[in-house]
Structure 1
Amino acid sequence: MPPALEHQVSTRGREYLRVSRDRSGRERSPEEQHRDHVGATAERGWTLGNAYRDIGSASRYATRAREGFDRLIADLQKDRFGAEVLVLWEGSRGSRKTNEWVLLIDLCEERDVKIFIFTYDRVFDPRNPYDRADLLELAIKSELASAETSKRTRRAAAASAAEGTPFGRCPYGYRRRYDPVTRKLVAQEEEPAEAAVIRELYERIQKGHSLRSIEKDLEARGVRTRTGLVFSAQHLRSMALNPAYSGQRVHDPGRTNGHTLSAKATYTQAQWPALVDRAVFLAVKRKLTAPERVTTRPGRGVHMLSMIAVCDVCDGPLAARNSERGREYTCHRKSCVRIDYDGLNTFAEAAVMDLFARPENLAWLTAAHDDTELLAVQEQVAELQHELDTLADQVGAGTLSVMLAARAEPGILSRLKAAKAREAELSTPAELHDFFGPGMDPVQRWKDAPMPARRQALRLLLSPKACGELRVRRSPTPGHRCPVVDRVRWRRSDA
C-alpha cells in the first residue's frame, strides 16, 4: 500500500453501504457502517462524498434489484464516480456474486480506483496482481458463504414444511399462541370472529356469489382486515386460494412470486386446524381459476337472462342491449329476434316462483341422499381434479414429459367422470344450495339473493334436462309487439 495514499489530503472516497433485511439484529446498519467509515477515512485524511445505499440481499438468490449498486457500476462505466477510493465495510457488502465482483474490480482497475475494506483495514489496488488475486479470492468466498447459507435455509424450510409447522405471517382467521417464557411458537389456532368470515367466503363463492358482491356486503357490515382496510375482491380471491385454510402446509422452493405456485409445490398436513374441508377448498379453487372465468367483461352478472335465454331461430344466446325502443334482449349471434328486457325477466322470474311454490316439481333436486357417501364422493372428485390440474402444471413446467402425462391422463379422467356422475346422483346441485334447505323459504331466498347467484341457478333450471330451455321466437306479427308469453317456447330434453 503506497504510504502517500494514506496521508494525501485531497484523496476522495465514496461509500457503498448495504445491509440485508436481517431480523436478528446482528447486521451492521448503513448508519453504523457509515460511522465506521468516517472514523477510518478521517485518520487517513480522506474526504467522503455522497454514498451509494441499498437494503437487501446481494447474493445470487436475491430477487430484487439493487439500485444503489447499479448506480455505482453505471457511474464507474461513465466516469461519473468522482473519487479515488471506493469504501466498503466488508467484502460481502459489495456483492456475493463472483461475476459482479469481477466487473467491479475491472472497472476500478480501468479507472485507477482503489478499494478500501474497513474490516480488513486495508486498501486494495486492483492494478496490483496480488491485490487483485486477494479481491477475487474474497469474491469466491463471499459467493460460497451465500450458497451455504441458502442451502441451510432451504433444508430448514423443507424440514419445517414436512412437519406442517406454521410459517410466515399468521393468516387471517387464525391466531398464534406463544410460550410466555421462551416466546417460542406453541400453536396456531382458530380466531373465531375471523374464521367465521373465511367460512362465509367459501360458502358464498360456492353458491355463485361474485367476489365483488361479497366485497360490498362485507364493507356494508363493517367487516375489515386486521389493519382496518376494506376487503377488496382481489384480496378475497387471494384468501380463497390459500391452501392454509384447508389445513394444508405448502412448500414451494420453485416459487418466483408470492401468489403463483410452481409445479414443484408439495402439500403436507398442517399442524393447525382446517377452517374448510379440502373438497370445498378445491371446488372453490376450480371455480376461481377456471380458464373460462372472465372477470373483466363489462356487466358481468348484471342481466338475469343474458347468455342463458336462447334464440329459437339460430340457437344463439340472447344478450342485453339498449336500443331506441329501450332495453331489450337480442339474439347475440345474428340479431334474429329481440324482446322486451323487463318483460322477459318478469316472465322467467314468475316461472321460477311457480316452480318453487310447488315442491313436487323439485323432487329430483331435493331427493334424500347419504351425506356420508356424498362427502366421500365430493372429496374424491376434488382430489382427482387436483391430480389432473397438477399433471397439466407439471407438463407446462417441463418437469413431466408429455408422453408420461398422456399415459396417466386417461385413467384419471375415467375415474373423475365416474365420481362426478355419482356425485350428481347424490346431491342437490350446488347452484341451488342457496335456495333449498331446512327451514328455507325458496321464494324469499330468491328475492334476497344477489344476481350472480340467481344466474347460477337459472343456468341449471333453464336447461333442457331441468325445467326446459327458455327460447324466444320471432314475433307472429312483424313490426308489432305482442305479449312475451306468446313469444316464449320451452324446450326439454324429452321434447
Structure 2
Amino acid sequence: MPQLSPVTPRVAIYARQSVDEDQGIAQQVEDCRSEVLRRGWHVAGEFQDNDTSASKERGPKTAWAAMLKAFDRGELDTIVVTETSRITRSLIDVLDIRPPRRDVRVVVIREGIDTERDDFMLKQLVLLAEREVRIKTERAARYAVGRRIAGHPTPGKPPHGYNWVPSIERDDAGTRYRVNHGEADDVRRIFLEFLAGAPLAQIARDLNSEGRRTRQGSTWHATTVRRLLLNPLYAALLPPAQPSGQFDASSIDLETCTPGAWEPIVKREQLIASRGRLIGVLPSHSGTARKWLLSGLAVCAVCSRPVRSARGETHPTARQDGSSAESHRYHAYRCPQGHFMRNGDIIDRYVSEVCIARLSAHDAFDLIGAGSGEVDVATLNSQREALKARRRSIASFVARGLMADTEADESLTEIMSALAELDDQITRAVQRSPLVELSVVDDVEAWWNDATLARRRLLVGELMTVRIKPVGHGKRVTTIERAAESVTLEWNRG
C-alpha cells in the first residue's frame, strides 16, 4: 500500500437525500469518488444518509453523526459533497463543522467551494437554503390546510387495501388513494369476522394459513389486525394530524375526522362497531387462536369441561415377521380431566356434515332468520347526523352570545349521551350473527368448505353444543356412524 503524504487530505465522502431512492445516493457517491481520484486524495470513509432531511436535526444514529465522531477521533479532516444542499440546509450544522467548534475542510464539487480558501460562500449558500426551506414550510402549511379540507390524505405509504395514486394519474377530484382489490378483500374479511365474534389472533392465524401477507410481506399478528380495525381511513375518514411518530388510532375522535375524497372499503357503522369493541380493551387481549374446529368449543360429556386439542400417536402391534409397523401422529381432542383422548378428524367431519345438512334443509331459512335482527342502520345514521348538526348550532349560539355557557353544557351533555346510545345501537346492529350471511347462500357445502376456521367455529357455537363421550381405552372410531353414536349434539337454535 503506497505511503500517504502528511498533507494528503483524509476524505469523508458524504451523500444525503430526503427520499428513499438508492439511485440518487449512488450517483452522489460516484461523483465524489471521481473528484477524489482526480485530486489524488485518500478516501477515509463513505457516509450515506438515505431518506434523511437536511433541514431537520439529524439524530445520533445517522451517518452524519458517525462522520463527526470519526473526525473527532482524528480519522479524517475533509468532507467532499456534490452540492451544498447535500451537506446541510441549516446554518447550525455549518457551525457544527467550522471553527470554533470543529475545523473540518469542506469541498463542494459543483459549486466550486473549498473552505481551505474561504468559507464565506458556503455560509451564504446555506443561509439562502435555510430561507428557502422556511418559505417552503410556510407554503406547505397553507397547502396542507386546503388539502385536508378537500379530504385528501398526506403523502406517504397508504394502509393495506389502498395504493397511492401519483399526481400524473389522478382524476379531476385529485383522488390520492385507489382501492387495491386483493388487499381490500383482506380488510373486508377482517372486519366481517371480527364483528361476527372471531378473536383477533384467530383472524390472524386464518390469514396466515391461507398464505395472505401484509403490505410489507410479513405474517399477520393480532396487533396488526387490531390496528387495521381501528383505522378510520378504511371508512374514508381523514383523521386530524398527529405528531410525527406518535400516531395512535385509538385516540382519534371520529367526530373530528374530515370526509375523505376516496372510496371507502368498509361502512362507517362497521368502523364504529369495531372501535367500540376494541377501545378500552388492552391491546394484548386478542383471544385464543385455534387450529381445530372444536378445541375449546366442544365439552366433555362426563365433566362438561371444554376439550383441548392434542397430538395423538398410534402404537401398532408388531407384524408376524417381527418387524414393527410405522407409528403415525394424529389430531386429537382430550378432556382436561383425563376422561378421554380421541381422534379429532372423524369428529370434525361428523359435526361439519351435520351443520351442512341442517343449514341446507328446507326450513333452514327460519333458523337463519332467528339469528338476525331488523335494525334500520340508515335511520340510526340519520339520527346521528341530526344530533351532530344540533351540536354545531349550540356552539354557534355560544360564540355569538345567544346562549349561556351553563345552558350549552347541559344541552351538549344530553347530545353526547344520545350519540353514545346511537353508537351502541349501531354496534349491536352491525355485530351480526354468522347465520345471517347464509341467508343469501345457495350452496351451503361450498360455503362451508371455503369458509375460514374462525367462521366455521362461530357457526358451530351459534347452532349447537357438542358433547364428546369417552369410548373406552383402545377403541377406535373410524366412521361417521360410530362418531354419531359417541357425540351428543344439543341444538341452541331450531
Range into which the TM-score falls when normalised by the shorter chain: 0.5 to 0.7
CA-atom RMSD in angstroms? 5.7
The structure 1 residue matched to 2:175, chosen from 188, 198, 219, is: 188
Report if the CA contact (8 A) 2:273-2:426 is conserved. no
Matches of 2:96 and 2:165 in 1, distance apart?
47
Aligned partner of 1:278 in structure 2 is 268
Question: Deviations along 1:230-270, whole A, 9 cap, x unmatched?
Answer: 9876599698876444222345342428x865847963112
Q: What's the offset of the Cα at 1:441?
A: 3.3
1:403 corresponds to: none
**Equivalent residue, structure 2, for 1:344:** 347
The separation in 2 between residues aligned to 1:359 and 1:142, in whole angstroms, is 77
Equivalent residue for 1:14, pick from 11, 16, 37 = 11
Matched, 1:419 2:417: no
Q: How far has the Cα of 1:305 moved from its partner? A: 0.5
Q: Aligned residue for 2:286? A: 293
Aligned in 2, Cα 1:349/1:147: closer, same or farther, shift over 3 Å? Answer: same
CA drift of 1:186 comes to 4.6
Asked if the contact 1:202–1:280 (Cα under 8 Å) also holds between the matched residues in 2, the reply is no
> 1:308 deviation in Å?
0.8
Look up the match of 1:319.
Answer: 308
| Offset from partner CA, 1:91-118 (integer Å, 9 cap, x none) | 6644457776555447964xx6545677
Match of 2:321 in 1: none
SS of 2:310 mapped into structure 1: strand
Residue identity (%):
18
1:442–1:116 Cα change, 3 Å = closer
- Partner of 1:458, secondary structure, is helix
* 3-state DSSP of counterpart to 2:291: coil
Residue matched to 2:73: 78
**Distance of aligned partners of 1:292 and 1:90 in 2 relative to their CA distance in 1, 3 Å threshold:** same
Q: Taking structure 2 as the reference length, what is the TM-score of the superposition? A: 0.60
Q: For 2:371 and 2:344, locate their aligned partners in 1 and report how far apart those are by CA, in whole Å.
A: 38
Q: 2-side partners of 1:113 and 1:178: how far apart?
A: 42
Select the residue among 133, 147, 150 that pairs with 1:160. Answer: 147
Residues of 2 paired with 1:60 and 1:280: CA distance? 40
| CA–CA separation in structure 2 for the residues paired with 1:370 and 1:324 | 46
| TM-score, normalised by the number of residues in structure 1 | 0.60
Q: Which residue of structure 2 aligns with residue 391 of structure 1?
A: none
| C-alpha distance in structure 2 between counterparts of 1:117 and 1:487, whole Å | 84
Q: C-alpha deviations, 1:72-104, integer Å up to 9, x for none? A: 2232122111x4x44566766444577765554
- Give the counterpart letter for 2:332 in structure 1: E
Consecutive unaligned residues of structure 2, counting only runs of 5 or more, are: 315-329, 385-412
Gap regions ≥5 residues in structure 1: 1-7, 382-406, 463-468
Distance in structure 2 (CA, Å) of the matches to 1:324 and 1:316: 23
- Alpha carbons of 1:328 and 1:440: their partners in 2 closer, same or farther (altered >3 Å)? same
Single out whichever of 411-420 and 452-461 deviates more from structure 2.
411-420
List per-residue Cα deviations over 1:10-42 (Å, max 9, x = no partner): 46363554443379xx99x7379849977xx99
Decide whether aligned partners of structure 1 residues 374 and 367 sit closer, same or farther in structure 2, where only a CA change above 3 A counts: farther
Give the length in aligned residue pairs.
415
After TM superposition, give the deviation of residue 373 of structure 1 in Å: 0.4
Q: Deviations over 1:277-312 (max 9, x none)?
A: 223455567899974436xx8xx5531111111235
Residue pair 1:446, 1:454 contacting (<8 A) in 2 also: yes
Flag the 1:173–1:242 CA change in 2: closer, same or farther, 3 A. same
Q: Within 1, Cα distance between the matches of 2:184 and 2:374?
A: 20
Q: Which amino acid aligns with 1:321?
A: A
The 3 A distance-change label for structure 1 pair 170 and 335 is: same
Structure 1: distance between partners of 2:10 and 2:420: 72
- The corresponding residue for 2:333 is 329
Matches for 1:44-83 after TM superposition, within 5 Å: 48-50=41-43, 52-54=46-48, 55=50, 56-60=52-56, 65-67=61-63, 69-81=64-76, 83=77
Secondary structure of the residue aligned to 1:452 is: helix
Q: Within the alignment, does 1:457 sit opposite 2:463 as a pair?
A: no
- Give 1:160 shift: 1.4
